[in-house]
Amino acid sequence: MKKALYFFLVALFVVSCQGPVGPEGPQGGTNTKIINLVAGTGDWIETLDGNQLNRFYYCHFSMPEITSDIFMNGSVSTNIIIDAVQQPLPTVRHYQNSDGTSWTQTIDFDYSVGGINVYVTNSDFKPNPPAAMNFRTVIMW
């Protein structure tokens, strides 16, 4: 009886999987564009909030490759390059000064149609403009 039930279930499964072949789907594949960026020491813009607190620095890169279609349907990622190693953004690093004080540096980014901004925020909010930094942006659509 178990064998007959097993045979019936297998036959039902095989028959239920048959049907007409549907239309061919769209061509697959992903397009990518890689853009290397350099923020020089003089490229960082210091910014404070409305209360003149919460200091951060940013660098804007014009990027016409980020079209409205890519903004809505694609993806943009950015890595920082340090000592021939790529680290995806956002990245957070913790530091300690020689006097024992600790602080954290956060590097993140955002993008919109036509541009990308990279931000550097130090947790102590002291005026300390970032050094030159190298980035690699990957646009996928």
- Per-residue model confidence as pLDDT tens digits over 48-69: 988 989 999 999 999 999 999 9
If DSSP codes are grouped into helix, strand and coil, which group holds residue 137? Answer: strand
User: Residue 10 — very low, low, confident or very high, per pLDDT cuts 50/70/90?
Assistant: low
**Which residues make beta-bridge pairs with 91?**
107
Report pLDDT digits (tens) over 70-121. 999 999 999 999 999 999 999 999 999 899 999 999 999 999 999 999 999 9
Give yes or no for residue 126 having a pLDDT over 70: yes
Q: What is the dihedral of CA 78, 84, 85, 91, to 10 degrees?
A: -50
Whether residue 2 is predicted with pLDDT greater than 70 in this model: the reply is: no
The pLDDT value recorded for residue 42 is 96
Judge whether residue 13 has pLDDT over 90.
no
**Domain 31-140 classification at class level:** mainly beta
Query: How many angstroms separate the CA atoms of 122 and 127, rounded?
Result: 9
Q: Which residues pair with 138 in a beta bridge?
A: 34, 77
Name the residue type at position 108.
D
Torsion sign (Cα): 122, 123, 124, 125: positive
Q: What angle do CA 79, 82, 85 make, to 5 degrees?
A: 70
Domain ranges of the chain: 31-140
For residue 29, the model assigns a pLDDT of: 79
Query: Residue 9: is its pLDDT beyond 60?
Result: no
**Bridge partner residues of 47 (DSSP):** 56
Q: pLDDT value at position 96?
A: 94
